[in-house]
Amino acid sequence: MSDEDGAVRAGDAGSPIASAISHKQRLQRALERDTLSKPRHTRIIAVANQKGGVGKTTTAVNVAAGLAQEGMNVVLIDADAQGNASTALGIGHRSGTPGTYDVLISRASIADVVQPCEAVEGLYVVPATIDLSGADVELIDVPQREFQLRKAVDKFVLEYSKVDYVIIDCPPSLGLLTVNAFVAAKEVLVPIQAEYYALEGVSLLHGTIRRLSTQLNRELRLLGIVVTMVDNRTRLSREVIAEVQRSFPDLVFEVTIPRTVRLSEAPSFGETIMTFDPSSLGAVSYRALAHEVAHRENN
């Protein structure tokens, strides 16, 4: 079975493989015509959904790599103790590796711990280690503990004004790490997996973003929702896309991310799909998402 077959847009006619290929070609043609300019100010985007396994990390690393390949300077902050984003970008994250944990407990600045991603020029990573799993307990007595990441990011952006994007990969919870990400960020990108109960929890997430935007971070807004792991051969995927479009017409991204084997294989090689298989439908789709993200600048 082709890696590409699952990934067709709703309504495409003909055989699944043929329509997947023509869908990819349409995306490629649109990308060739589209040029990106750098944002006016550094954009800080948290990729979040308290639901586990919906494609947060895959989206964060591939959008980050897609933007870097367009000439942007991108810093990805891994804010999940699982360290999956660090793994996917080929960055070691054994316990003790300096990273997000040290930044959160004010032991290091972002500049101290950031590392270049060897495979993608312009992409830098703040790694996460298992140490991060204890950070919420360690921070309990720190006044204004929700602002730890914000302080570090603001300082970094002030010192390194050439950073175009800071992308924060959040853990699957709405705990202190995600709150730190929402206070540091100006925008939230929400991946939703094309499955039953896809929208379950989205109103909770929406409510949290709204509450934080009135209480802790007036600048925070929901950047958009991307439907991931789409298999358009199935009626379920098509129904989920239609439901998300009905519920969030202004927020849902036009491109959807296909479920493909290549996307799931890339992290085990320490690579994003952008270098692992740049002409695959997964890579082209994430490149299209990076373009849509870049065009939704609003600051």
- Picked from ligand ATP, Mg ion, none, the partner binding residue 274 (CB below 5 to 8 A depending on kind) is none
Residue 87 binding ligand ATP, by CB under 6 A = no
Spatial separation of the C-alpha atoms in residues 224 and 173, rounded to whole Å: 19
Q: Is 229 in the site for ligand ATP (CB under 6 A)?
A: yes
Torsion of the alpha carbons at 252, 253, 258 and 264, rounded to the nearest 10? -90
Q: Which of 9, 24, 43, 56 binds ligand ATP (CB under 6 A)?
A: 56
Question: Which of 105-113, 201-209, 215-223, 254-262 is the region at the interface with ligand ATP (rule: CB under 6 A)?
Answer: 254-262
Q: Residue 19 touches which of ligand ATP, Mg ion, none (CB < 5 to 8 A by kind)?
A: none
Backbone φ and ψ for 65, nearest 5 degrees, come out as -65, -40
Alpha-carbon distance 43 to 130, whole Å? 27
Residue 11 — left, alpha, or beta (φ > 0 → left; ψ -120 to 50 → alpha)?
left
275 contacts ligand ATP (rule: CB under 6 A): no
* Pair of tokens at residue 74: 């991108």
Smallest CA-to-CA distance from 275 within 31, 33, 66, 28 is with 66
Q: Please give the residue ranges that form the binding site for Mg ion (CB under 5 A).
A: 56-57, 84
Within 175-194, the residues that bind ligand ATP by CB under 6 A are none
Nearest to 117 by CA among 108, 128, 126: 126
Cβ at position 204, least distance to ligand ATP in Å: 15
Distance of closest approach, residue 170 Cβ to ligand ATP, in angstroms = 8
Q: Cβ 84 to ligand ATP, closest distance in Å?
A: 5
Please count the residues of this chain forming the interface with ligand ATP, following the rule CB under 6 A: 19
- Using CA atoms, how far apart are residues 128 and 130, in angstroms rounded to an integer? 7
Q: Which of 14, 53, 96, 134 binds ligand ATP (CB under 6 A)?
A: 53
Compute the distance between CA of residue 160 and CA of residue 144 in angstroms, rounded to an integer: 25
Q: Which residue's Cβ has the minimum distance to Mg ion? A: 57
Q: Please, what is the end-to-end C-alpha distance for the chain in angstroms?
A: 44
Q: Which does 134 bind (CB under 5 to 8 A by kind): Mg ion, ligand ATP, none?
A: none
Say which residue the tokens 């307990």 belong to: 137
Residues found near ligand ATP in the complex (CB under 6 A): 52-58, 80, 82, 84, 172, 228-229, 257, 259-260, 263-264, 267
